[in-house]
Amino acid sequence: GQSLEQPSEVTAVEGAIVQINCTYQTSGFYGLSWYQQHDGGAPTFLSYNGLDGLEETGRFSSFLSRSDSYGYLLLQELQMKDSASYFCAVRDGDTNAGKSTFGDGTTLTVKP
Amino acid sequence: NAGVTQTPKFRVLKTGQSMTLLCAQDMNHEYMYWYRQDPGMGLRLIHYSVGEGTTAKGEVPDGYNVSRLKKQNFLLGLESAAPSQTSVYFCASSSLAATSNEQFFGPGTRLTVL
């Protein structure tokens, strides 16, 4: 099975940098994704790491270390609109299954 | 291009009633999923499908059934609703070709079982 751990809440001020960590224990691993979900909305895809290292997409970056079963999402130049829940998700090792397991999410609150 | 749509958006049921949630996608995706999300929790996979005519159980399948008769539609059925099934239900789809398994989500169905 799959198990993911991420902090339940993070608070930061506008303009700051925040890092949301995710550790996982999996029976198979194919990649780590991040999703954003605003209150009352649907999750939307942010980023994916299939290999070790850093992936950058604008103000957001995501990092993966497969040897440490660890990844993080880095949000820079925080804006009020970044207040949302962020979920890490592990794609199953069986690529034919085409499914992922989601963490319980981290609620980010950005304060003025 | 509507993406993923879900019907209905809201529903209130009494214990023991049945209902079907409909999900449709117009992106020609092979994979489709049904999740439930309880307050303050993550997404738990109920059932999924890797192609037309195929379905498989996810993490929390009990009390639910699914069907995928057409590639673009994925139906979730509750035969005898229970208060424990009060939740927000999300449908999602993804492409076989996407190594990231990037999933596109519908807007959700908010179900209350009294």
- What's CA A57's distance to the chain center, in Å? 13
- What's CA B47's distance to the chain center, in Å? 7
> Chain B residues with CB inside 8 Å of A33's CB?
100-102
> Chain B residues with CB inside 8 Å of A30's CB?
99, 101
Determine the average pLDDT of the residues in A59-76: 96
Which of A31, A44, A103 is closest, CB to CB, to B99? A31
Cα dist from A9 to A48, B60, B88, B98, B105, whole Å: 22, 25, 21, 30, 23
> Distance between CA atoms of B81 and B68, rounded to whole angstroms?
21
Across the interface, do A33 and B31 touch by the CB < 8 Å criterion? no
What confidence tens digit (pLDDT) does each residue in A71-102 have?
999 999 999 999 999 999 998 766 556 788 99
Q: Is the dihedral of CA B18, B19, B20, B21 positive or negative?
A: negative
Task: Quote the pLDDT of residue A2.
Answer: 76
Mean predicted lDDT score pLDDT of chain A: 92
Task: Quote the pLDDT of residue A1.
Answer: 67
What confidence tens digit (pLDDT) does each residue in A6-38 have?
999 999 999 999 999 999 998 778 899 999 999
pLDDT in tens, chain B (114 residues): 789 999 999 999 999 999 999 999 999 999 999 999 998 889 999 999 999 999 999 999 999 999 999 999 999 999 999 999 999 999 999 998 888 889 999 999 999 999
Residue of B nearest to A103 (CA): B42
Which of B31, B102, B105 is closest, CB to CB, to A48? B102
Task: Quote the pLDDT of residue B99.
Answer: 81
